[in-house]
C-alpha cells in the first residue's frame, strides 16, 4: 500500500499521532505511528476531526495537501450563517419572526413557513441564513460536538432591562466560538428604554461600541414594531462581506445536523445545514452514525428541491436512523462506503456506551467494597 502513515497524517492535521492511534483503536483498528492508512481510514479520521477531504480520497501526501486546501478558483461566496442569542424575554423569538416576515418585503413569496430550525432571507439580493433553534443549550451542545456552524452572532439585549446573566453567557459563547458579535439593543419602543446603559454594561464585558471608539456594532431596534430590523440585516451583510465567507459548491457536501426527529410516516426527518459542497437528491450520506440516500429534500419553505448549495438549510428524508443536533454529515461517492463508515461509527458508539456503563458498574462495585 502506498498510503500515508499515521504519523504523516497527524502532522498534516496538526494532531498528536497518539490521538489518532487512540481513535483508531476505539474504532477497532490497531495501528502504530508508521502504519500506512487506507483511504477509508483516512476519510474516517478526517471526518472524526471535522477536517475536509475532497471526494477522491487522497492516496499520497501531495494529493492530501491539495484536498485539504481547496482550489481557490472553486471557492465562491456563501451566505452568512447567523445565530441569535440573549437573555430570556429580551426578544430573540420576536426578532427571528420579524426577520422571517421581511421576505415578503423583498418580494419573495411565502412569509410563513414550516419550522425546520433554520431559514434564509434575502437582503439586497444576498442571502442570510438564520439558525432558528439554538438558544444557549443547543449552541453549547453543538460546540461540544465540535460543530462550527455560526459565522456571526447577534446578541439581543432589552433596552429596558440591560445586561442579564444569559447576556453574559451569550457573550462568552460568542467569544469562545471566535465569531463577530452584533448587539441588537431591543425594545427601543418602550418608554423605559435606556440604550446608553446597555452600551455601558456591554463595554464592561469587553464590547465597546463603535461610536465610543470600539469595534462592536450596536443597532437599536424594536423587534416588535420592526424599527431597526432592516439595519440589523444590512449590518450582517457588511460584517459578512468583511469575513469573506467562501465555500466550494463543486465538492461533495459536508455540514451539520440542526434538528432531527422521527416521523411516523416518513421515518427520520433531518434538517441539515450544508456548509460546503452541494447536496443532491440521491447522494449517499453519512450523518453521525446514521447513513442513507437523500430520498427527498425540501427547503425552508417546504418546496421540494434537487440540490442545496453551501449555507443552505434543508430537510431530508432517507436516513436509516435519527442523528442528533450537532452531528456532522458527509456525502460519499458510493453507498457501500457510506454504509461501512456509518456501521463502524455506530459500532464505536455502542462500544463507548458499553465501556462507560461497565466503568460505572466497576465504580459501583468499588463503592460496595
Based on CB atoms, which residue is closest to ligand GDP, 232 or 253?
A: 232
Among Mg ion, ligand GDP, none, residue 90 binds (CB under 5-8 Å by kind):
ligand GDP
Check residue 92 for interaction with ligand GDP (CB under 6 A).
Answer: yes
Please list, in sequence order, all residues whose beta carbon lies within 8 angstroms of the beta carbon of residue 304, skipping any fewer than 6 positions away: 296, 297, 298
Within 214-273, the residues that bind ligand GDP by CB under 6 A are 222-224
Based on CB atoms, which residue is closest to ligand GDP, 48 or 161?
A: 161
Based on CB atoms, which residue is closest to ligand GDP, 131 or 247?
A: 131
Based on CB atoms, which residue is closest to ligand GDP, 98 or 248?
A: 98
Quote helix, strand, coil % in the chain, to nearest 5: 35, 25, 35
Among Mg ion, ligand GDP, none, residue 224 binds (CB under 5-8 Å by kind):
ligand GDP
Nearest-approach distance from CB 98 to ligand GDP, in angstroms:
8
Based on CB atoms, which residue is closest to Mg ion, 93 or 346?
A: 93
**Per-residue cell: 112:** 410563513
Nearest-approach distance from CB 140 to ligand GDP, in angstroms:
17
**Per-residue cell: 182:** 452584533
β 328-332/307-308 pair status: unpaired
Binding piece for ligand GDP, criterion CB under 6 A, among 72-80, 122-130, 186-194, 296-304: 186-194
Based on CB atoms, which residue is closest to ligand GDP, 4 or 131?
A: 131
Nearest-approach distance from CB 162 to Mg ion, in angstroms:
18
Nearest-approach distance from CB 227 to ligand GDP, in angstroms:
8
Based on CB atoms, which residue is closest to ligand GDP, 202 or 314?
A: 202
Please list, in sequence order, all residues whose beta carbon lies within 8 angstroms of the beta carbon of residue 38, skipping any fewer than 6 positions away: 1, 3
Please list, in sequence order, all residues whose beta carbon lies within 8 angstroms of the beta carbon of residue 49, skipping any fewer than 6 positions away: 13, 15, 146
Within 79-138, the residues that bind Mg ion by CB under 5 A are 92-93
Check residue 101 for interaction with ligand GDP (CB under 6 A).
Answer: no
Nearest-approach distance from CB 90 to ligand GDP, in angstroms:
5
Check residue 104 for interaction with ligand GDP (CB under 6 A).
Answer: no
Give the whole-angstrom CA distance, residue 291 versus residue 321: 7
Nearest-approach distance from CB 28 to Mg ion, in angstroms:
44
Q: What is the DSSP string of 81-142?
A: EEEEEESTTSSHHHHHHHHHHHHHHTT-S-SS----SEEEEEETTEEEEEESS-HHHHHHHH
Whole-angstrom CA distances from 302 to 102, 122, 158, 192, 288 are 18, 17, 33, 41, 24
Among Mg ion, ligand GDP, none, residue 186 binds (CB under 5-8 Å by kind):
ligand GDP
Whole-angstrom CA distances from 269 to 117, 226, 261, 294, 312 are 12, 33, 5, 11, 16
Based on CB atoms, which residue is closest to Mg ion, 38 or 97?
A: 97
Nearest-approach distance from CB 93 to Mg ion, in angstroms:
3
Among ligand GDP, Mg ion, none, residue 168 binds (CB under 5-8 Å by kind):
none
Check residue 91 for interaction with ligand GDP (CB under 6 A).
Answer: yes
Check residue 339 for interaction with ligand GDP (CB under 6 A).
Answer: no
CA angle 247/169/152 to nearest 5° reads 20
Please list, in sequence order, all residues whose beta carbon lies within 8 angstroms of the beta carbon of residue 60, skipping any fewer than 6 positions away: 2, 4
Q: What is the 3-state secondary structure of 300-326?
A: CCCCECCEECCCCEEEEEEECCCCCCC
**Per-residue cell: 153:** 452572532
**Per the annotation, does 188 bind a ligand?**
yes
* Sole residue written with cell 426527529: 261
**Per the annotation, does 91 bind a ligand?**
yes
Binding site for ligand GDP (CB under 6 A): 86, 88-94, 186-187, 189-190, 222-224
Amino acid at each position: 500500500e502506498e498510503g500515508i502513515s499515521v504519523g504523516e497524517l497527524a502532522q498534516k492535521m496538526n494532531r498528536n499521532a497518539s490521538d489518532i492511534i487512540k481513535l483508531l483503536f476505539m474504532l477497532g483498528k490497531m495501528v502504530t505511528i508508521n502504519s500506512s492508512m487506507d483511504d477509508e481510514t483516512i476519510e474516517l479520521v478526517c471526518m472524526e476531526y471535522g477536517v475536509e477531504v475532497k471526494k477522491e480520497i487522497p492516496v499520497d501526501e501531495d494529493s492530501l495537501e491539495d484536498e485539504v486546501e481547496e482550489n481557490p478558483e472553486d471557492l465562491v461566496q456563501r451566505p452568512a450563517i447567523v445565530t441569535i442569542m440573549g437573555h430570556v424575554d429580551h426578544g430573540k423569538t420576536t426578532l427571528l419572526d420579524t426577520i422571517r416576515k421581511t421576505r415578503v418585503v423583498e418580494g419573495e413569496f411565502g412569509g410563513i413557513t414550516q419550522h425546520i430550525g433554520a431559514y434564509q432571507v434575502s437582503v439586497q439580493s444576498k442571502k442570510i441564513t438564520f439558525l432558528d433553534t439554538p438558544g444557549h443549550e443547543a449552541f453549547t451542545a453543538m460546540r461540544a460536538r465540535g460543530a462550527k456552524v455560526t459565522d456571526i452572532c447577534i446578541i439581543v439585549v432589552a433596552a429596558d432591562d440591560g445586561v442579564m446573566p444569559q447576556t453574559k453567557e451569550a457573550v462568552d459563547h460568542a467569544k469562545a466560538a471566535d465569531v463577530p458579535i452584533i448587539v441588537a439593543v431591543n425594545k427601543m419602543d418602550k418608554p423605559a428604554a435606556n440604550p446608553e446603559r446597555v452600551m455601558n454594561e456591554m463595554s464592561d464585558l469587553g464590547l465597546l461600541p463603535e461610536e465610543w471608539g470600539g469595534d462592536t456594532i450596536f443597532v437599536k431596534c424594536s423587534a416588535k414594531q420592526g424599527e431597526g430590523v432592516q439595519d440589523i440585516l444590512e449590518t450582517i451583510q457588511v460584517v459578512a462581506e468583511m469575513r469573506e465567507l467562501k465555500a466550494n459548491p463543486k465538492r461533495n457536501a459536508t455540514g451539520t445536523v440542526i434538528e432531527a426527529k422521527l416521523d411516523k410516516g416518513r421515518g427520520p426527518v433531518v434538517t441539515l445545514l450544508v456548509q460546503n459542497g452541494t447536496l443532491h437528491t440521491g447522494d449517499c450520506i453519512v450523518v453521525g452514525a446514521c447513513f442513507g440516500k437523500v430520498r427527498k429534500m425540501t427547503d425552508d419553505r417546504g418546496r421540494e428541491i434537487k440540490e442545496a448549495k453551501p449555507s443552505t438549510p434543508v430537510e431530508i428524508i432517507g436516513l436509516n436512523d435519527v442523528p442528533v443536533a450537532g452531528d456532522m454529515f458527509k456525502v460519499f461517492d458510493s453507498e457501500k462506503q457510506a454504509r461501512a463508515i456509518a456501521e463502524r461509527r455506530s459500532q464505536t458508539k455502542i462500544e463507548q456506551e458499553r465501556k462507560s456503563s461497565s466503568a460505572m458498574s466497576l465504580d459501583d462495585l468499588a463503592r460496595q467494597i
